[in-house]
Structure 1
């Protein structure tokens, strides 16, 4: 049985409006708030009310990320075949079901099963599948849409942690899960259904691939995946260790929280600047700026903690730009026809790295201390910068060949 033709954009189809992009950004605030950012708020009340081991409760997120990473290539292929709307709506409803199951969990195995369900939904509803759907549908005009979505969702941590804390305080952690489930089912899913294009048109002729044989990797895809993976590991590790690292330098807990809160505004600021001035620049230049900014920020944090505010601003700006580059660079390198499938493949290694990072950081801090872990983080940031330079070199070579 031959593979279905891949959807490509209607030539008359335009990118979503600014209002539509803002609505799509809202979907990411809600979905990230009900998944990645929910654990930090509910872990203590879950442990207090159930007696389950704290490590297992925290590890449930790693389980979800692992499942999400394993499924990402398959999700990319489905978006490539049928378009983004049905995949993202289905992923959102699966996340809602996982949150309902979590709220009903009376035992640790059921709680873990709920996060496994969440992982399935996360594979089909967070940034990577959304960018895959946008890029496949709108091609070159998707870049501005991706940046606007990233701007709208840039304050996710700033908004979701206080909102989740409020819900836990007033309706308990189970009620908070149900609230996020309702928002996913009755706000996010309808937005995806309305804001994302439906249907598909036949793809242009291309080299046929026999059934059962995987399509070949595109040039440079492996090194690009490794670059994205090291960046994702850094982001996850920083979310685990930043507050502890600041406090290890003698910064009081309240001040450390205030400094960490600078990440949100700096992420949004970088994305606004990219939207205003960077649309004509090749995304590879933004990748280099992002990697350099993150590396410099982490280096300053280790060697000059008195400039922690500047270090966090640099790190946040680089990390905020990375979110956009993750969507725009593959589109620029590999084109629109293969975009969704490529994004699915590129998403797996970073997600697997993210799944392992919290556990690895925990053991590293226990065995070697927070300062040693911070030095390792600087080394990873320099590796990421080196990989980014290698990607840029490959892009330059390809451009010369094309010329």
Structure 2
């Protein structure tokens, strides 16, 4: 396949499936395998989560470089390479016989994540479809949103019945036998260079460099705050709810509402994509968490379910926003590099936030939740300081 010979529908289904596999074998892996890996190799579960944090940090640091690669050469090669690297990391993980080998495998997994996950997929969609990529980005997140629904029970079942090493090998096989062939069906880079569309070039050149830097900084702060909250809730949602008086069963039941709420919000965005500006979607997404948190502080366990639904909807919506908002604010040109630069702070905050929040929970659940509300207010202020581009 050459040039841009791909339809939006085909791109959405291809990348939706491969992103589902990519997130299933990376971001959602520690929750199911960390305890078993720790027990097998004689380390603490915190040690394994620390190795995963290292993978996230490496992923963030590689973001700008991988984004530039997509801008110059297209997304096909990085995505295909990412599937291979993820598979090698998972094979190395399955073969690890010491803590050092396990850490090395997790770090290699971080390299694969930098090549194969959302940022590269989004940049590929923008390269193929330009400013029309927003609906495709939403479609990909809609399919990949089922990653936790599939990956958590599947990985847990594999670990319980066959062991964590087999579970890692199964995910390696999924990358080599499903994700890699699908990535290889994506378009190759066009062999002849062509000028950027006049509208995006003019849009980029019309923005003064200082103004772009300010806009990037404001957006980076908002992205980092939401990344941190997503990481914290992924690791600490049940302990947070039980710390406020909810029973263990009620906390688990509330947690089960997060996934459906994410998918529902993404479906709404998909339907209304041409009617709502991404900046408006971003403001709505950020505002949902503090509303839910305020209810939780005011009503205690009675608000566990509403809080989970509001957090899930906001998180699901913001996943789309982090791909579409840079596109509409800054245009198509250098989109991959910009998205990679924006992801650095997000990955750093996402890697350290769960540990810091755990320390805060040990002192005061209410104060810890209050700090998250304050962080969301800061992110919301940054988003209101951003201005919509003309037109």
- Indicate the larger mover: 342-351 or 297-306: 297-306
Structure 1 residues 23 and 199, CA gap change in structure 2 (3 angstroms): closer
CA root-mean-square deviation: 2.1
Q: Structure 2 stretches of 5 or more lacking a match?
A: 203-208
Whether 1:385 aligns to 2:354 is: no
* Misfit runs of 4+, over 3 Å: 12-15, 215-219
Equivalenced residues, count = 377
Does the CA contact (< 8 Å) of 1:62 and 1:358 recur in 2? no
Does the CA contact (< 8 Å) of 2:246 and 2:304 recur in 1?
Answer: no
Task: Tell me the equivalent position of 2:371.
Answer: 376
- Does residue 18 of structure 2 align to residue 27 of structure 1? yes
Partner of 1:287: 282
* C-alpha distance in structure 2 between counterparts of 1:48 and 1:373, whole Å: 30
Residue 162 of structure 2 corresponds to 171
Instruction: Give deviations 1:70-89, integer Å, cap 9, x for gaps.
Output: 00000000001110000111
Q: 1:343 to 1:216 in 2, by over 3 A?
A: farther
Deviation at 1:253, TM superposition (A): 1.7
TM-score with structure 1 setting the length:
0.89
**Could you say which residue in structure 1 is the equivalent of 2:181?**
190
- The Cα shift of 1:203 comes to 4.3
* Correspondence 1:1-400 to 2 at 5 A: 15-17=7-9, 20-194=11-185, 196-200=186-190, 201-204=192-195, 218-219=212-213, 220-305=215-300, 306-366=302-362, 368-391=363-386, 394-395=387-388, 398-399=389-390
Structure 1 residue runs without a partner (length 5+)? 1-8, 208-214
CA separation in 2, counterparts of 1:218 and 1:79? Answer: 21
Q: 2:87–2:171: 8 Å Cα contact kept in structure 1?
A: yes
Q: Distance in 1 between matches of 2:80 and 2:259?
A: 27
Q: Determine if contact 1:96/1:182 at 8 Å carries over to the other structure.
A: yes
The TM-score normalised by the length of structure 2 is: 0.91
Tell me the distance in 2 between the aligned counterparts of 1:282 and 1:372.
34
User: SS of the counterpart of 1:337?
Assistant: coil
**Retained in 1: the 8 A contact 2:79–2:115?**
yes
- Output one character per residue of 1:288-325: Cα deviation in whole Å (capped at 9) or x when no partner: 11111122122222222312211211111111110111
